[in-house]
Structure 1
Amino acid sequence: MNFIPIISVKNHVCALFTAILFLLVNHGTTAQSEEDPNVLKKKIAKAESNPKKVDLLLALSSYYLNKTGENKTDLDNADLINTQAKLLSDRVKYKLGKGKSILLGAQIYREKGDRENALEKTKNAITYSKKNNLTELQASSYSELSIYDAEVDQKAKYKQTAIQLFKKAGAKEKQATTLKELGELYSINENPDKAEPLLQESLALYKSIHYPKLQGVYNLLSEVYTSKGNYPESLKHALLAEKTALAVNDHSLQLSSIYNHVGLVYYYLRQNDDAEEYWYKAFEVAKNFNDTEYVRTIGENLCSLLIRQKKEKKALELIKEMQQKFPSSNIERIMKENYLLFNIYRILNNNATASIYYKRLADFYGENADRNGNSIAVLRSFASYHYQIKKFNEFYKNVRRLDSLAAGAGNNLIRSESYLIWFKADSSRGDYINAIKHYQLYKSLSDSVFKGEKSKQINSLQIEYESEKKDKNINLLQEQAKVQQIQIQKDTVVKYVFIGSVIVLILFLALLYNSFRLKKKKNAELEIQRQQINEQNELNKKMLVEKEWLLKEIHHRVKNNLQIVISLLNTQSAYLDNEDALMAIQNSQHRMHAMSLIHQKLYQSDNLANIDMSWYVYELTNYMKECFDTDRNINFVLEVEKTYLDVAQAVPLGLIINEAVNNAIKYAFPEDRKGEVTIVLKNIGESNYELKIADNGIGLPVDFDSTERDSLGMNLMMGLSDQIDGVFEMKNDNGLKITITFTRNTEFEVTAENS
């Protein structure tokens, strides 16, 4: 025995749930605002009245609530904006705005998954709308309330209440939408007889207000007529759904559902090529939206087609691919998968594996398929399975129940296929009288479905639809011809423009060539000048190198000459007995060494203009310490910043430091008294510097100013300070402190020495 989709007994095929027909967009939720949120925000800012502002806030909140995707930020924005609308409604006593915000709050809670608070707010919206006589809002609240009840009858009752209230309020579009939702509810729960009149009423009401987007209603009617086995009407409405969707430019996920239903009708009519074409179109739309439920539902339909074509192994591969790429934890989806696998293994005569899936299905749907819907599809598969394993008692029980359900739904196609396998069962048991009766019933019902007037209707529908498509193609070709004519005219204009452009281009190239010749001549002259400049630069480089070499040589020789003078003075001192003369020679040697250090550093360095004072003070101080052997009683503290001075300032400062340190060593610490000499050189702002030489010795004598100002050392320090335009200051401060403040020359400024 076959199963949905229906197939002849000779051809094996996988079973398909009637739940395939559930693949519809849920029209019960609030439609997303099509207005741009930025436009809404601008309108809110410019709203002339508070009620208008409330309505705009509610529209913006609805936009974020129904925005595509599950984004927590969008729901938070919807909640925040809805709260603003409610507060403003309270402040200006706008009752309708407040009522709408209560209902919208319920929908936000539902979308967040908090069904308890959502239900409470929905009931609050009903109470508020009744109290304030807001009929349309009351209807919307009852429509929302139907979402939370599990019982179909109660859901239907709420929907019917909403329909009557919408009718009373004159809200025809919402009344038509709720009729459509109620029809969909009955269709999903396998009650096509109740669904059909509701959907027809919805369609008529939509048409009365010239509502263009009727594809959803046509799609549901196609599903209903498929359930009833009325395939001419099913195909008619499925093709109308496709035509309407394309006319209103609907490329949403609903288009996948529409293509699926067209393919499903063609499948039942055994037009495999047409079914395959539409299912693959549906499959592509579903994959573009990355919707797992749609992809898997249509994939299962394609699986049924593969098995009809005796490609059971390819069907198994497709199921495994969907399990990997589009996994689902939904119990209904898992049972669909088990249903497909059960029928595949049954058709492959792998009864051991098929029995595993049978037990799972029987546990979920019941052995008589009387639980969780899909009774007809499951019963057909159970009957086929029991016939295959020769459990005739179970088979007859299933097939009788199946015939009763199919007769109730008016589905003669399912009944005819049931009688065919019933005939086979009777024949195998030797019950030929019943076998002949059931075969006659099979032929009678089969002929009523596929022959005669209905077959003509189906062919007529296809011809009509194909004619419309051809008319569209002719119109399209005519439009393309017009476009081509316009294009030819444009091409002619472009041709003349091109010729004119070529002429202009030739003139331009001639001018460009002439300009190039002039430029080339000028470049040749510039090249000659460049070579001359390069030659001059090379000569200057050589002269600079020679100059640097000569400067280094001069510094080297000055340093050597100073060392020779120091040696001569040292030799001369060996022949003197006069203490004052020896002291004068020694002081001169120290001064010459101070100058010699500078010239030594300069000829050893790449920088011939400046000297690093931190290095210089350190070397000079070490020299003085060695000369006077002061390590035991005098400690030197150096606080000298890395400062570069030119020779004109470095030499005077070196001599000043030499004189000051010399005096400190000789006079500040008599009788081997211990002490400290501090030398500080630091920047005090911009290019201003301060040199400080201080000791904590005995200091100056009381009558120093009157008796010692004419000494050579003191005059030398003051004179050298004047030479560098510095300010010389000397005072007693817990010892002697000498301070020279001066401005650094920046003519040959450098930042670092590359020695």
Structure 2
Amino acid sequence: MAHHLRKLFSGLFFVLLLNASAQSIENEDRSALKEFQNANVPENRFDVFFNSVNRYNQNSAYDWLDTVKVYLSNAQKTNDTIAAQLYRVMQTQLYNDLGEYDKSTALAKELYEAKDSLNLDLKKIVLDVLDNNYANLQLYDKQIEVRKKKRELGFTNNISFYDIYSNLGLHRKARNQFIMEVKPTIADNDTYGLAKYHSKVGNYLRLDNSAPTALSELKKAKAYLDVYLNDISIQKTEKQLFESDLLKAEIEGNIGKCHVLLHEYEEAVPLLESSIEVLQNSSNNNHKSEIIENTLNLADANLQLEKFSTAKRSLDIDFESIDMLQSIKRNSLLAAYYDKVENFKNAATYYKRNERIKDSLAQKQSSIIKQQLVTIVANEDMENSQRLIEEQKRINEQARSEMKAKDERINLVFISLIFTLLGFAGLVYAYLKSIKNQRLIAEQKHIIENALVEKDSLLKEIHHRVKNNLQMVSSLLSLQTKNTRSKSAIEALEEGKSRVKAMALIHQKLYQNDDLSVIEMQGYIESLINSVQSVYKKGGHNISITIDAEGTELDIDRAIPFGLILNELVSNSFKYAFPENDENGKIYIHLRKNGEQGYFEYTDNGVGLPEDTEERTHSSMGIRLMNRLVNQLQSKLNIDKADEGVRFWFNFN
């Protein structure tokens, strides 16, 4: 009998196990994109898209984008504006997931600024995407503007700066502000919230090169997460379990990186491998960067353990998007690998590649980050000042309300005496508060004024250094020209040198100006032409050049494209327009800007453009460059060919 019962229970257990396995396989094979296509209305598709636990489990973001484009096209054909709006919001998120942040930003701004305004839910999604785009594009001042809008609409209570500070390399400041703002908001029994909190603090410590302390915080985070996952009293949705797995992978990856910093490579390898495997299921752009970091640290650990082929496989992975610092680290690891396998030629190649990246890009990126840091600090100071003033107003309003409530409850018999005493006390209180407020406002005004003066000084210094760096690049190009025999290579280097000088002049004019926001174009154009003439010493000196740009001022975002366009046009005139004799040569440059509208025209009376100009447009570097620069000015380059000479013109905002 007992034997039969055992067989019966064994059979039931086997059936249950098969059912569980089949259900698990069915869940894994379930395609979010197929569920999206099976939804019968746009609103349901929108919910599937944004509520899927992992929408890229079976299909890539490119598959999703193609599908959404088809639905968007159908909605536009049927004039279904609500459906079209939903599909465009999804398209904005997809471009962000693909790392095409410029496209995503352009579409998000167009949606947000459209006349048919979005509802609050769609606005929150669009602003969240913009926030992430600007972070990845390192436009932190724009990111702050988006966060202000989110606060105005009630999506957040304040503007957080700690992640921006971390992106700028100020990890200690980021950690301190994060602890001050976030720790008070987490309940003692919120184990998942505590896991996220300690994970973030540990990561900031790791980035600040405090690996032992970071390891302690990250282990606390893992312990809290284990408690949360093992707590059967808390009902967890599929999405919560998926996010918990991602958080666990993130924590384990950071622990692995701490072990690498501490030279504990054996402990690091399994943690990094496990983290990479789980994070690959995430559509979060931050996790994509985390995967690259974990892979590079895994390669580093395997190199130190002399597992060379395994390390090389990690370094040969073709990542979709990799930033400059990650490229430098990857090149260093490749150089170390080739050193260890005694392929010194390849090792030298990667060392040189790193030097080029550091010399040509690091300084420029550093200048941009310093400039944005000044803006962010100024914004934070003004935000704090405004917060203090608003808090003071609230306290004053509350005091007045309390005073009024007390007055209404006073016994009529003693009202005149109490009213006199309260009035006197109110006057003294108001007088003292007024003095305190005036002193506080004066102090804050002084701080803001000092910050603005310091900002101007820093901006001038930044423009001066950028100009010096560009001049150094120009000198390097000149040196390369002397060591080059190829005529075509020399011409290309000279053209590059001319373009670099055009940009350097912009920054020179800016740091020489009292007003750092605009450039006076008449003087700039004259300086630019003198610079071009110095490059083309054999031509251009007899040409009559007329410049009509007196009183026209442009900001740096417009001045740099204009400088490069004009550099191309004048260079082409000097090189090609007067091949035989430039005695009667004439060039006319006209630039005007009235309010929001502007107009640019360039003409010469040379030999004009060849007959096959239209075909050359696609192959000519100069014309392609000018078309792209004019596109940056949100305009179109027009070319008029005549019997004698040529005319280029366009309007701009």
Q: How would you bin the TM-score normalised by the shorter chain?
A: 0.3 to 0.5
Higher CA-based Rg:
1
Greater relative CO (CA pairs within 8 A, separation 6+): 1
TM normalised by structure 1 equals: 0.33
